[in-house]
Structure 1
Amino acid sequence: MKPVRLAAVALTTAALLLPLSAAPAAAGPHSGHQAAPHSNARFDRLRWAAPDDFLIGTAVAGGGHHLEQDYPDPFTSDRKYRRILAQQFSSVSPENQMKWEYIHPEQDRYDFGMADAIVDFAERNGQAVRGHTLLWHSQNPAWLEEGDFSEEELRAILHDHITTVVGRYAGRIQQWDVANEIFDDQGNLRTEDNIWIRELGPDVIADAFRWAHEADPEAELFFNDYNVEGINAKSDAYYDLIQDLLAQGVPVHGFSTQGHLSTRYGFPGDLEDNLRRFDELGLATAVTELDVRMDLPESGEPTEAQLEQQADYYQQALEACLAVEGCDSFTIWGFTDKYSWVPVFFEGEGSATVMTEDFVRKPAFHALRDTLKDARHERNPWGPWSPW
Structure 2
Amino acid sequence: MRLSTTSALAAMPLLVSGQLDYWAKQAGMKYFGSATDTPGQRERSGFEASYSRYDAILRDPKQFGQTTPTNGMKWLFTEPEPGVFNYTEGEVVANLAKDQGKLLRCHALVWHNQLAPWVENTTWTPDSLREAIVRHITNVAGHWKGQCYAWDVVNEALDEDGTYRKSLFYNILGEEYIKLAFETAAKVDPAAKLYYNDYGIERPASVKTAGALRIVKMLKDAGVKIDGVGMQAHLHADNHPTAADHVATMAAYLAMGVEEVAFTELDVRITDPANATSLEWQKDSYVQVTTACAKVEGCVGITVWDFYDPFSWVPVTFPGKGAAGLWFADFTEHPAVQGMVDVLKTLVAEKEATKNGEREFRRMFWA
* Shared fold, TM over 0.5: yes
Match of 2:214 in 1: 240
- Quickly say closer, same or farther: Cα 1:353–1:66, change in 2 above 3 A: same
Contact residue 82 and residue 118 of structure 2 kept, 8 A: yes
The structure where helix makes up a greater share of residues is 2
Q: Distance in 2 between matches of 1:250 and 1:380?
A: 39
Match of 2:327 in 1: 355
Match of 1:281 in 2: 256
Contact residue 202 and residue 241 of structure 2 kept, 8 A: no
Shift of 1:66: 6.4
Q: Distance in 1 between matches of 2:240 and 2:307?
A: 22
Match of 1:295 in 2: 271
Q: Of 314, 337, 345, which aligns to 2:286?
A: 314
Matched residue type, 1:104: E
Contact residue 238 and residue 282 of structure 2 kept, 8 A: no
Matched residue type, 2:196: F
Match of 1:179 in 2: 154
Residue 310 of structure 2 is aligned to residue 335 of structure 1: no
Counterparts in 2 of 1:201-280, with a 5 A limit? 201-231=174-204, 232-268=206-242, 270-280=245-255
- Quickly say closer, same or farther: Cα 1:261–1:112, change in 2 above 3 A: same
Provide the TM-score with structure 2 as the length reference.
0.85
Match of 2:361 in 1: none
Q: Distance in 2 between matches of 1:277 and 1:64?
A: 40
Matched residue type, 1:366: Q
Match of 1:113 in 2: 88
Match of 1:367 in 2: 339
Alignment RMSD, CA only? 2.6
Q: State the percentage of identical aligned residues.
A: 32
Contact residue 234 and residue 266 of structure 2 kept, 8 A: yes
Residue ranges of structure 2 left out of the alignment (5+ in a row): 1-6, 356-367
Q: Of 22, 34, 45, which aligns to 1:58?
A: 34
Residue 114 of structure 2 is aligned to residue 142 of structure 1: no
Q: Distance in 1 between matches of 2:354 and 2:292?
A: 24
- Quickly say closer, same or farther: Cα 1:228–1:64, change in 2 above 3 A: farther
Shift of 1:67: 7.5
Provide the TM-score with structure 1 as the length reference.
0.81
Counterparts in 2 of 1:49-128, with a 5 A limit? 49-52=23-26, 53-54=28-29, 55-62=31-38, 69-71=45-47, 78-87=51-60, 88-128=63-103
Could you report, residue by residue, the CA deviation over 1:18-77 in whole angstroms, capped at 9, with x for unpaired residues? xxxxxxxxxx848xx99xxxxxx9x842122222542101111348976764455x9xx8
SS at match of 1:51: helix
- Quickly say closer, same or farther: Cα 1:66–1:138, change in 2 above 3 A: farther
Could you report, residue by residue, the CA deviation over 1:296-349 in whole angstroms, capped at 9, with x for unpaired residues? 1xxx3x111111111011000111111211001111111111211111111111
SS at match of 1:242: helix
Could you report, residue by residue, the CA deviation over 1:202-233 in whole angstroms, capped at 9, with x for unpaired residues? 11211110100111111111111111110221
Q: Distance in 1 between matches of 2:200 and 2:238?
A: 14
Shift of 1:135: 1.1
Q: Distance in 1 between matches of 2:139 and 2:120?
A: 20
Q: Distance in 2 between matches of 1:70 and 1:51?
A: 34
Matched residue type, 1:267: P
Matched residue type, 2:315: P
Matched residue type, 1:290: L
Shift of 1:382: 11
Could you report, residue by residue, the CA deviation over 1:224-267 in whole angstroms, capped at 9, with x for unpaired residues? 11111102211112212312321221001111211101124243
Match of 1:13 in 2: none
Residue ranges of structure 1 left out of the alignment (5+ in a row): 1-27, 35-40, 384-388
Contact residue 64 and residue 96 of structure 1 kept, 8 A: no
**Higher deviation after alignment, 237-246 or 323-332:** 237-246
Contact residue 64 and residue 102 of structure 1 kept, 8 A: no
